[in-house]
A and B are shown apart, each in its own frame.
Chain A
Amino acid sequence: MTAVEIAADVRAGRRSAREVVEAHLARVAESDGEIHAFLHVDVDGALRAAGRVDDCVARGEDPGPLAGVPIALKDNLCTRGLPTTCASRILEGWLPPYTATAVQRVVERGAIPLGKTNLDEFAMGSSTENSAYGPTRNPRDLHRVPGGSSGGSAAAVAAGFAPLALGSDTGGSIRQPAALCGVVGVKPTYGAVSRYGLIAFASSLDQIGPFATTVADAALLLEAIAGPDPLDSTSWPEALPPIDVRADVAGLRVGLVRELSGEGIAPDVAARVAAAADALGAAGAKVDEVSVPGARYALSAYYLIAPAEASSNLARYDGVRYGLRVARDDISETYGATREQGFGAEVKRRIMLGTYALSAGYYDAYYGQAQRARTLLIRDFAAAYEQFDVLLSPTAPTTAFELGAKTADPLAMYLSDVCTIPTNLAGHPAISVPFGVGVDGLPIGVQVLAPALGEAVMFRVAAALEEMAP
């Protein structure tokens, strides 16, 4: 059942939130042992929340547009009184004293959080293998990765544990796992959703967004979480324009991004994207190739900017106030020992990379240069959007790869995000929609990109692709 259907049934009293939640928890109990989508399942909390929704309906009140809909939460979203680890040893046992704005909003609209999902430690990775608590497996093929970093949320939706999930996307961490697990994933416009309570990886790139099985469900969840928040200075000060999920693309101009299509993209993925473009053309859209030259430098710029911000954002995990403390005689040694034991290899790699990029004497060559590349990319996107309403590309270069296939080669892993990173650098929205399968029978996602606050037109194209998907 979709979220739209569940909410309609629960609001109308045709189905209780409790039975919906129990059915989903039963699926989790049955299959999550092998998938490992969740780091923490909050059975009692979910049943209590379901009870509140049912009481609300019994009193004749409306619990809201997400009434009784189970939702899985990436474990980098703060939840008051529930463990929030970022899949890191360094936050083991920490209980946040507050709840993220986006989580607060879904709960206020009747959704039922089932628990916290696995991720690459501090959202750094593309396979969910960088979790300190073990990897998540792809429900479509248990020998394969679900993608990452929001692999647990993508897997939870793909496995039917919850119709909806929240993830975070810094360089593709929602869209890439959505593509690999065959579900819908959205990275909203930077600022559309409050980041308050999202544990920061790279603040200028991080954005919370939805996972769902349908485009309409993703829109429902996005509308619930979007909107200004006085607790986030970078949140957009006005409401997001209403989202449109009519599958109507007649007259829309669709640009196929040349830089994100050729080299490095698996032939079966490229073929699906071409098929999607043809389908849109057949449905009345005007499809053409477009060049976004700056996209070529996006990956390089990203791997300077994101680690630089991360090196600062992750400084606070020092063993002084919360989380892991490995006590030594001296404060400097305590810092060192705590961070040595608390962080995994990829997190350390990025902290070192970012620290170096910001160092005196190197700032201009690395961080400064990356910011200039970012500015040029934004300029190139602006030029493209003068000619096109939306852009089209693969979401990921390949289908889901096997567990362990890229863990020894960070650069190969980084290339998984080559198609998704440019939108994060630009602050634009993008959505991944399943569009058939590859030669291995695994799902392939097509990415629709739009200009800032262009969610409405982006969702129309996504709905059309969903309708025409093989």
Chain B
Amino acid sequence: MSSDWETVIGLEVHCELRTVTKLFCGCRNAFGDEPNTNICPVCLGLPGSLPVLNRQAVELAMRIGAALHCEVRGSIFHRKNYFYPDMPKDYQISQYDEPLNVNGSLELPDGTRIGIERAHMEEDTGKTTHVGTSGRIHGADFSLVDYNRAGVPLVEIVSRPDIRGAEQARTYVSELRAILVATGASDGKMEEGSLRVDANVSVHHPDEAFGTRCEIKNLNSLRSLGRAIDYEVRRQISVLEDGGRVVQETRHWNEDEGRTSSMRSKEEAYDYRYFPEPDLVPIDPPETWKAAVRESLPVLPAQRRRELAARAGMAPADVALLVELDLDALVTSAVALGADPRIAVNRAANEVAAALGSAPSLDPAAFATVCRMEAEGRLTATQAKAVLGELLVSGGDPVAIADARGFAPVDSGLVEAAVDDAIGADAAAWARYVAGEDKVAGMFVGKVMKATGGKADGGTVTAILQRKRSAAQA
């Protein structure tokens, strides 16, 4: 693959809203119920039925808009006309040229801003299962349709083509997912179809105009998203480098085969014949409602990263994991109680994170004490990890745990003496270390640890060795 190709990606993420009822009727919005039990004349599109807009869905859509820094504005619904068995009316009520949310942005942990073109409301379709060898509608023996999902409220979040690779696309989706969960709009469960992603992918040489794009559908996990983009980028580059041209089309990602295949070309694309939905009236949220939505938003991940990073004196990207795991509050509390920020971040991101889900909640004061003891040299890093491990399993007082385990601070003179003993015992190794062979240090540290019964701090021993080497070299 030539290195001067640049990948350009725009993502369309469909987010099912966590409302009590569907978008246009009073049926339950629930995943996993017995098929075709949450249905009524409206979501089945029976003759004579009419849609009535769900206020909670509008509010959640506005929350998404506000969280993505969009302009939230008056909007109308359109009908998107096409035939498909899982779409009861053979048109989808969606938003077209007057969407609810426009012109927003999303900040990735590394500070990159991805533009959000729009985040509009629409209804979900039913769910079709094609039974037969193909797994697609053509060639199926028969198809089963579950209309429980028909009419579930969706917000489709359309990014600008600002994403530059599979990894960034995955980061974008995880960040978006975190925001959607934080706002209460979504449960974020990709495995249940709560978030579904379509990717528009093209490649070009950075100094040229964007290439022709293909839209990839059926991306149901971050893994699929990454693999599909990587595959598609390789495919497009290979087509172009063979002198061909990329055809604008919709492509289907096949997870098992690990490849995309053509679904329909631009020429075969549907003409959706959009026109304003006459059965609904325009949405025009008053300023008071918009303000209330903005004020009720929780602190969002980007802000939480900035706050924690500032407190810990680190870069926002370095604390992203902690925010993602919801451990930033623990670290912040511990720091307020006197813990060293770097040690707190380190221990939280490793030992505490590893125990998440299995351990009872960690008392921030106890956590702060362990971090402080480590910072003050009363515990070595190894000892601090051991104390923290016990705290995470059974709780208790860190000082008492350290005492019970016999973790007393080692006399620094004692460590110094042990280092001297180790050097004296192997002059040849010492000479190699002084000559610049760094890996020999490990052997000396091991000997000192053995001599001190494991109570010396590895970092301290290394520091002493380095100091003595500098003296020997001078």
A contacts, CB < 8 Å to B: 76-78, 84, 86, 91, 94, 96-98, 100, 195-200, 202-204, 230-234, 308-309, 311-312, 315-316, 318, 320-322, 330-332, 335, 355, 358-360, 363, 367
Contact B278–A96 (Cβ < 8 Å) = no
Measured between alpha carbons, how far is A77 from B47 in the docked complex, in Å?
9
B397 within 8 A of A: no
Q: What are some 24 contacts across the A-B interface (CB < 8 A)? A: A78-B47, A84-B47, A84-B48, A97-B41, A196-B49, A197-B48, A197-B49, A200-B47, A200-B48, A203-B278, A204-B278, A232-B50, A233-B52, A234-B50, A234-B279, A234-B280, A312-B79, A312-B275, A315-B83, A315-B89, A315-B90, A318-B85, A322-B46, A332-B83
Measured between alpha carbons, how far is A162 from B79 in the docked complex, in Å?
39
What are the 9 closest A-B residue pairs judged by CB atoms, nearest first? A315-B90, A204-B278, A358-B273, A203-B278, A199-B47, A78-B48, A197-B48, A199-B48, A360-B271
Partner of B89, one of A231, A311, A316, A330: A316
Measured between alpha carbons, how far is A91 from B88 in the docked complex, in Å?
15
User: Shortest Cβ distance from A445 into chain B, in angstroms?
Assistant: 28
Given contacts A204-B278, A233-B51, A233-B281, 14 further A-B contacts (CB under 8 A): A78-B46, A98-B46, A198-B48, A200-B47, A232-B50, A234-B280, A312-B275, A316-B90, A322-B46, A331-B85, A332-B83, A358-B81, A358-B275, A363-B275
Residues of B23-78 contacting chain A, CB below 8 A:
41, 44-53
Measured between alpha carbons, how far is A332 from B273 in the docked complex, in Å?
19
Q: Contacts A230-B52, A233-B281, A234-B279 given: A359-B273 contact, CB under 8 Å? A: yes
Contact B52–A331 (Cβ < 8 Å) = no
Measured between alpha carbons, how far is A97 from B137 in the docked complex, in Å?
30
Measured between alpha carbons, how far is A308 from B78 in the docked complex, in Å?
13
B433 within 8 A of A: no
Contact B281–A234 (Cβ < 8 Å) = yes
User: Shortest Cβ distance from A68 into chain B, in angstroms?
Assistant: 27
User: Shortest Cβ distance from A331 into chain B, in angstroms?
Assistant: 6
Contact B271–A359 (Cβ < 8 Å) = yes
User: Shortest Cβ distance from A424 into chain B, in angstroms?
Assistant: 12
Map CB proximity to A onto B396-434 as digits: 1 under 8 Å, 0 otherwise. Answer: 000000000000000000000000000000000000000
Residues of B within 8 A of A233 (CB): 50-53, 279-281
Contact A312–B81 (Cβ < 8 Å) = yes
B266 within 8 A of A: no
Q: Chain A residue with minimal CB distance to B140? A: A331
B contacts, CB < 8 Å to A: 41, 44-53, 79, 81, 83, 85, 88-91, 137-138, 143, 145, 271, 273-275, 278-281
Q: Contacts A233-B53, A318-B90, A358-B81 given: A309-B278 contact, CB under 8 Å? A: yes
Contact A316–B45 (Cβ < 8 Å) = yes
Contact A316–B51 (Cβ < 8 Å) = no
Q: Chain A residue with minimal CB distance to B139? A: A330
Contact B85–A320 (Cβ < 8 Å) = yes
User: Shortest Cβ distance from B122 into chain A, in angstroms?
Assistant: 16
Residues of B within 8 A of A200 (CB): 47-48, 279
Main secondary structure of the interface of B (DSSP, over half): loop
Partner of A86, one of B41, B47, B85, B271: B47
Residues of B within 8 A of A367 (CB): 275
User: Shortest Cβ distance from B138 into chain A, in angstroms?
Assistant: 7
Contact A315–B52 (Cβ < 8 Å) = no
Contact A96–B48 (Cβ < 8 Å) = yes
User: Shortest Cβ distance from B396 into chain A, in angstroms?
Assistant: 59
Q: Chain A residue with minimal CB distance to B275? A: A358
Residues of B within 8 A of A321 (CB): 44-45, 88
Contact A316–B278 (Cβ < 8 Å) = no
Q: Chain B residue with minimal CB distance to A339? A: B83
Measured between alpha carbons, how far is A203 from B81 in the docked complex, in Å?
15
Q: Contacts A97-B41, A355-B273, A358-B273 given: A335-B278 contact, CB under 8 Å? A: no
User: Shortest Cβ distance from A79 into chain B, in angstroms?
Assistant: 10
Q: Chain B residue with minimal CB distance to A237? A: B281
User: Shortest Cβ distance from A212 into chain B, in angstroms?
Assistant: 24
Residues of B within 8 A of A203 (CB): 278-279
Most buried by A among B45, B51, B274, B279: B279
Residues of B within 8 A of A309 (CB): 275, 278
Measured between alpha carbons, how far is A358 from B81 in the docked complex, in Å?
10
Measured between alpha carbons, how far is A94 from B46 in the docked complex, in Å?
11
Residues of B within 8 A of A232 (CB): 50, 52
Q: Chain B residue with minimal CB distance to A200? A: B48
Q: Chain B residue with minimal CB distance to A194? A: B50
Q: Chain A residue with minimal CB distance to B270? A: A360
Residues of A within 8 A of B50 (CB): 195-196, 231-234
Measured between alpha carbons, how far is A94 from B48 in the docked complex, in Å?
13
User: Shortest Cβ distance from A156 into chain B, in angstroms?
Assistant: 21
Contact A316–B47 (Cβ < 8 Å) = yes
Measured between alpha carbons, how far is A286 from B241 in the docked complex, in Å?
83
Residues of A within 8 A of B85 (CB): 318, 320, 331
User: Shortest Cβ distance from A189 into chain B, in angstroms?
Assistant: 15
